[in-house]
Structure 1
Amino acid sequence: MYFHLRNRLKQKPFIKTRVFNKLSLAPHRKGLVLRVVIITPKKPNSALRHVAKVTIYKNIKRIFGRIPGIGYLPVKFNRVLVRGGRANDLPSVRLTLVRNIYDFSPLSMRKRRRSIYGVSRPSGFTKHKRRRYRHLHM
């Protein structure tokens, strides 16, 4: 009986490896791009997805981050901001890069989902005119 308990106490506690552990318990972290890679997704999907290998400044861990949007890709030694958000069909990709912060440029001419791609609101752009007040917007 005691032998069983002694072995149980010797075992290390099981800790899940989560995204927050990689970002050292923060919502965002600054990182440095080491290289940009093109990966193909898992079985039912087919595409060419851009992924960047990033070193996190704080804990010096190297992880893969998804590059959202079409267009400009970060170059080697660019500074980027990394947040959580995994790509379901890409194995080992659990983080996403944030656009329009540090050296990672925004997408131009985006009207919808601007906050994700780092685009500021264009001048004179109203998202939705309420039906009740539409006679006021001429």
Structure 2
Amino acid sequence: MVTLRQLTACRRRRKKIIKNTILQNSPQKKAICLKVYTMNPKKPNSAERKVAKIKFSNGKTTIGYIPGEGHSLQQHSIVLVEGGRIKDLPGIKYKFIKGVFDFS
């Protein structure tokens, strides 16, 4: 059991956890496509989901999801990225915004 004297002498401080380190707490960020390819979703679903490996303006790389039917993305295309995970694709936490930059 902790005494009152111990609590006042040594205060516990909680670390603030920043979940979104790549976007740096901004709603969207600009990125460049490095590679455009397809992935297969998790168990009950079956399809070919379009994804792209991207490099952000701050130098970090990750994988983002390409929404909708059909796209014009290729290597070195510039896209606008927002947060939001895709449930049946493990490890993908970002998606692209259509109609901005090279993603029409």
TM-score, scaled to structure 2: 0.80
Root-mean-square deviation over aligned CA pairs: 1.6
Q: Alignment length, in residue pairs? A: 91
Deviations 1:43-77 (A, max 9, x none): 111111000111010x2111110000001241100
Mark the CA change 1:17 to 1:74 in structure 2 (over 3 Å): closer, same or farther.
farther
SS in 2 for 1:83: strand
Mark the CA change 1:15 to 1:35 in structure 2 (over 3 Å): closer, same or farther.
farther
Q: What residue in structure 2 maps to residue 90 of structure 1?
A: 89
Equivalent residues in 2 for 1:106-121, closer than 5 Å: none
Q: Distance in 2 between matches of 1:90 and 1:16?
A: 24
Structure with larger Rg: 1
Q: Percent identity?
A: 38
Post-superposition offset of 1:14:
7.1
Q: What residue in structure 2 maps to residue 34 of structure 1?
A: 34
Post-superposition offset of 1:15:
7.1
Q: Distance in 2 between matches of 1:15 and 1:38?
A: 36
8 Å contact from structure 1 (residues 51, 64) kept in 2: yes
Gaps of 5+ in 1: 1-12, 106-138
> Whose relative contact order is higher, 1 or 2, with alpha carbons under 8 Å and at least 6 apart?
2
TM-score, scaled to structure 1: 0.61
Q: Distance in 1 between matches of 2:71 and 2:17?
A: 35
Higher helix share: 1
Runs of 4+ in 1 over 6 A off after TM superposition: none
Q: What residue in structure 2 maps to residue 104 of structure 1?
A: 103
8 Å contact from structure 1 (residues 39, 50) kept in 2: yes
Q: Distance in 2 between matches of 1:81 and 1:46?
A: 27
Equivalent residues in 2 for 1:1-138, closer than 5 Å: 18=19, 20-57=20-57, 59-105=58-104
